[in-house]
């Protein structure tokens, strides 16, 4: 029986890995699943709280445990940190070690065929069956925002399907990343390895600062006119959709993932590699512990400010004014930093720390996480609107209703997401890879000239020196 289960596990893993790159980091599939499951659990618990399926404890000790039920909201930020890490990998390698600069065409083809097929099919089905009003002429402007990945603007923020606004943030980052990396590369790609590392760190700090500054500017300008002396309000209203949206563009979160990426690339190629990796491995458990502790602290802050309106946590009450006043500015970066420390630990930590994130069932969920992320919320709302009243009429207990609620999501959202992954996401990724291969195959014929002069940067390799260690 055990052998059969192992064979089944391997076959499912092989089936789902069909669209993945050979050099992918296995543990990050599990991290992606954790991010998605966090968001799913948040919507499960938030909507069941609104639907009176469960009631959170609001005393000091109870509030701490109740806050864990809503921690998953920060899973969105883990997605942003993870995207910053993964997409910056080839650019960081090119900047630090003079590898070939990533192809702009290949980058966009992969991103487009990874995201657009599943998103547009999901959007069409939701418009057709859940919100047909959006197909009417008077909703054309809103529909255009969904079609062009600008649904993070106030006109469509959290409409149609609550998680969609985060896809707008992701896609806008995809569009900008090659330009951001090119600007960084113009500054970073000369000098010794240590000098390149220093300059890239400065660039990422600038990006992080830009994210924090625009977040502060956007929220302050939204409610008051106190920043009008810096920029006219009319001009600010024009710029705000492009550099802030509704809740920020989260450049600080992406920058944290990119910073972890820089350290990862350095550890893979710096000399001596063994010594560098050993030092990072020793640091990893402490980084993981610090990240989880910070996550719990920030989450309690989030719960206290957002969900305990009119209530009191005695040990936080003296800081209420500060916590309330700066939650929009610093709460999100607190979550992002905690995930950055945890991601660092998983990448560099010992096997006992990495192994849970490489567990096959968790990786399977990571593979289907994109579709699961898009489809879980409508299915939750369907249960609460159409099925929950029947359970209430039968006078089921709260735990029984909650168990049926969770079971409904498992037996509907996961199979549907699997089908979407196999029938829509995978074919899209395969088509994208074929187009990339065709593009690469045409390059020699197009670039052929009587005399070929290679770029010296593609031939140069970093010379080992005392500063490189």
pLDDT at 458: 38
Q: How many of the other CB atoms lie within 10 Å of CB of 392?
A: 13
Residues 6+ apart with CB under 8 A from 116: 428
Residues 6+ apart with CB under 8 A from 223: none
Q: Got the DSSP string for 369-428?
A: HHHHHHHHHHHHHHIIIIIHHHHHHTT--HHHHHHHHHHHHHHHHHHHHHHHIIIIIHHH
396: left (phi over 0), alpha (psi -120 to 50) or beta: beta
pLDDT at 22: 55
| Whether 401 contacts 388, CB under 8 Å | yes
Q: Tens place of pLDDT for every residue, the chain, 469 residues?
A: 555 555 555 555 555 665 555 568 999 999 999 999 999 999 999 998 888 788 777 777 778 888 888 999 999 999 999 999 999 999 999 999 999 999 999 999 999 999 999 999 999 999 999 999 999 999 999 999 999 999 999 999 999 999 999 999 999 999 999 999 999 999 999 999 999 999 999 999 999 999 999 998 888 765 555 555 556 666 777 778 888 999 999 999 999 999 999 999 999 887 777 777 888 899 999 999 999 999 999 999 998 888 877 677 777 878 777 788 888 889 999 999 999 999 999 999 999 999 999 999 999 999 999 999 999 999 999 999 898 888 877 878 878 888 999 999 999 999 999 999 999 999 999 999 999 998 887 765 444 443 333 333 333 434 433 333 3
pLDDT at 17: 65
Question: Can you tell me the distance from the alpha carbon of 313 to that of 435, in angstroms, rounded to the nearest whole number?
Answer: 57
Question: Can you tell me the distance from the alpha carbon of 412 to that of 414, in angstroms, rounded to the nearest whole number?
Answer: 6
Q: How many of the other CB atoms lie within 10 Å of CB of 24?
A: 11
State pTM to two decimals.
0.89
């Amino acid at each position: 029986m055990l052998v059969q289960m192992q064979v089944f596990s391997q076959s499912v893993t092989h089936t789902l890995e069909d669209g993945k790159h050979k050099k992918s980091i296995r543990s990050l599939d599990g991290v992606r699943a954790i991010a998605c499951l966090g968001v799913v659990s948040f919507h499960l618990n938030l909507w069941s709280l609104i639907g009176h399926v469960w009631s959170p404890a609001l005393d000091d000790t109870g509030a701490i445990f109740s806050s864990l039920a809503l921690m998953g909201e920060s899973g969105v930020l883990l997605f942003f940190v993870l995207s910053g890490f993964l997409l910056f990998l080839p650019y960081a390698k090119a900047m630090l070690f003079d590898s070939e600069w990533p192809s702009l065409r290949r980058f966009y083809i992969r991103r487009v065929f990874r995201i657009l097929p599943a998103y547009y099919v999901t959007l069409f089905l939701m418009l057709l069956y859940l919100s047909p009003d959006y197909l009417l002429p008077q909703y054309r402007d809103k529909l255009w925002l969904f079609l062009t990945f600008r649904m993070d603007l106030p006109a469509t923020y959290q409409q149609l399907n609550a998680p969609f606004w985060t896809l707008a943030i992701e896609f806008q980052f995809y569009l900008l990343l090659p330009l951001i990396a090119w600007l960084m590369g113009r500054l970073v790609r000369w000098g010794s390895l240590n000098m390149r590392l220093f300059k890239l760190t400065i660039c990422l700090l600038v990006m992080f600062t830009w994210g924090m500054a625009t977040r502060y500017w956007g929220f302050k300008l939204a409610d008051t006119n106190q920043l009008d002396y810096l920029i006219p309000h009319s001009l600010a209203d024009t710029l705000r959709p492009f550099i802030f949206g509704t809740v920020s563009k989260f450049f600080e979160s992406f920058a944290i993932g990119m910073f972890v990426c820089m350290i990862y690339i350095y550890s893979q190629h710096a000399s001596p590699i063994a010594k560098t990796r050993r030092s990072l491995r020793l640091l990893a458990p402490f980084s993981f512990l610090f990240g989880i502790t910070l996550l719990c602290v920030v989450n309690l802050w989030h719960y206290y400010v957002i969900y305990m309106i009119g209530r009191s946590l005695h040990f936080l009450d003296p800081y209420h004014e500060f916590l309330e006043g700066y939650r929009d500015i610093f709460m999100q970066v607190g979550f992002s930093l905690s995930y950055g420390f945890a991601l660092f630990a998983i990448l560099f930590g010992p096997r006992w720390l990495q192994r849970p994130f490489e567990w096959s069932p968790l990786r399977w969920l990571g593979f289907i996480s994109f579709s699961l992320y898009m489809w879980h919320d409508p299915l939750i709302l369907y249960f609460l609107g159409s099925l929950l009243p029947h359970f209430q009429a039968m006078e089921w207990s709260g735990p029984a209703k909650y168990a049926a609620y969770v079971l409904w999501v498992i037996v509907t959202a996961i199979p549907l997401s699997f089908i979407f992954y196999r029938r829509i996401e995978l074919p899209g990724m395969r088509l994208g890879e074929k187009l990339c291969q065709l593009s690469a195959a045409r390059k020699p014929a197009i670039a052929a000239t009587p005399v070929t002069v290679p770029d010296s940067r593609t031939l140069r390799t970093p010379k080992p020196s005392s500063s490189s260690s």
